[in-house]
A and B are shown apart, each in its own frame.
Chain A
Amino acid sequence: MAATAAALQFSAQVSSLNNYNDLYPDWTQREVSTGTTIMAVEFDGGVVMGADSRTTTGAYIANRVTDKLTPIHDRIFCCRSGSAADTQAIADAVTYQLGFHSIELDEAPLVQTAASLFRDMCYRYREELMAGIIVAGWDQRRGGQVYTVPVGGMLTRQPVSVGGSGSSYIYGYVDSNYRPGMNKEECLKFTAGALTLAMERDGSSGGVVRMAIITEKGVERRVILGNQLPQFSTV
């Protein structure tokens, strides 16, 4: 008992030393975070999802080509932002639950079901988790849908949703450029433009733009490399 208390005290002293100690680089003491900008847009017949590709540990970019668009089922994907560990664990758990549910039903699951499963987990463990997730996909009943489950565990459906640290910078752009009834090509241009602008302003977002287009026919994945991103006159 006394030994444990002493050990705890000692480690507290060590970690407070480490905070300002140049012997230990910043990234050894920071949690891995998907700083991020993520986005999803509904169109008639499907959804377009997009994300940047930067994962940071403090100031170090642990992965500059991350894929933050994670498949949950054949035509349901999620965009992950926040703690990389938390969102990966939640996505794995929901993938399992949804796969089981789909076998029981003997048909493809609804996007709303996947979103509800995410919400249940994010709300129940809200004190321990740091996860902001956008769930999007296509199902037979309601076509293309985007559901957002931000930090805290709320669930709401929106025609367009942005998330992650970089999303603050593009609310104005999204509000002014989104129109209902855009087709797939317009949605792709809209998403690529918004993500590019966020990546230019947010230090935690960058790399390439990864996109996924989900329709009745299936899932199409695209990547836009750094030199192929749309150009804006100030950036």
Chain B
Amino acid sequence: MQGSISDHGTSKGLKMGTTIIAIEFDGGVVLGSDSRVSAGASVVNRVMNKLSPLHDKIYCALSGSAADAQTIAEIVNYQLDVHSVEVGEDPLVRSAATLVKNISYKYKEELSAHLIVGGWDKKEGGQVFATLNGLITRQPFAVGGSGSSYIYGFVDAEYRRRMTRQECQEFVINSLTLAMNRDGSSGGVAYLVTIDSEGVEEKCVLGNELPRFYDRDVVEPAKTEKV
């Protein structure tokens, strides 16, 4: 049974269809996301930054229900502020990820959001944690959101251990571009955040600056036939 177009935004809520990705390198992490927020078939925000700070050097990437993801990020931001005052120093990335996981797990039946947590701390350096459905796992890289299905093959093939900062940034931009090209719920611009011991670098790559991949309709059509 199909709903009418008019109730798409209200009953389904705002979804960040999304592609998000985070990858660690020696000395830091790179996080990336697209910028599309959709309500049914409508794009309600085409320039949304889904990389949300949890602390100075810890960011999270939001996907799934926009309201759920933003609320989790805000709550964890507050909890981390309190925690960092209590311990008297910058919090660990694992602490931030654990706080996210605690909320995701406790309210897993009501929530529909997946956050990837990435950051730098002086104990373990750059780290990426996935918190899907209430688990917590540290991984060299993580992808999430509806667009991530289309790039599993690409990231499996292209990932190599011990990539440099520059290579990681290119890896993230390429992955986001490929996913945005195939996933209807992902699109717009690509946001990048690079975190290391020095600080945080935020970058926005516009649509026309994204890498181009082979597109048959742009190249010459099929060669002439012989009868």
Contact = CB atoms under 8 A, between A and B. Distances in A.
Interface string A156-172: 01110000000011111
A193 B158 CA distance: 12
A234 B182 CA distance: 23
Contacts of A233: 159-161
B153 A201 contact: yes
Contacts of B214: 175, 178-180
B149 A169 contact: yes
B118 to A, nearest CB: 18
Contacts, number: 80
Interface string A191-221: 0011001101100000000000000000000
B213 A175 contact: yes
B172 to A, nearest CB: 13
A172 B160 contact: no
B12 interface: no
Interface band, chain B: 20 to 34
Given A180-B214, A180-B219, A232 B150 contact: no
B23 to A, nearest CB: 12
Contact of A172 (B140, B151, B226): B151
Interface string B193-227: 00000000000000000000110100100100111
B227 A197 contact: no
A27 interface: no
Contacts of A235: 156
Interface stretch (B2-10, B62-70, B82-90, B173-181): B173-181
Interface string B5-24: 00000000000000000000
A141 B222 CA distance: 13
B226 A170 contact: no
Contacts of B213: 175-176
B182 A175 contact: yes
B157 interface: yes
A136 to B, nearest CB: 15
A60 interface: no
A140 B225 CA distance: 9
B174 A176 contact: yes
18 contacts: A141-B227, A142-B226, A169-B152, A169-B153, A172-B150, A172-B151, A172-B154, A172-B179, A173-B151, A173-B154, A173-B156, A174-B153, A175-B178, A175-B214, A180-B216, A201-B152, A233-B160, A233-B161
Given A172-B151, A232-B156, 12 more contacts: A140-B226, A141-B225, A142-B222, A169-B152, A173-B156, A174-B153, A175-B214, A176-B158, A176-B213, A179-B214, A234-B140, A234-B156
In the A-B complex, list the 10 residue pairs whose CB atoms are closest, starting with the nearest: A172-B154, A170-B153, A172-B151, A173-B153, A197-B153, A172-B178, A169-B152, A171-B150, A173-B154, A168-B149
Interface of B: 140, 149-161, 174-175, 178-179, 181-182, 213-214, 216, 219, 222, 225-227
Interface of A: 140-142, 157-159, 168-180, 193-194, 197-198, 200-201, 232-235
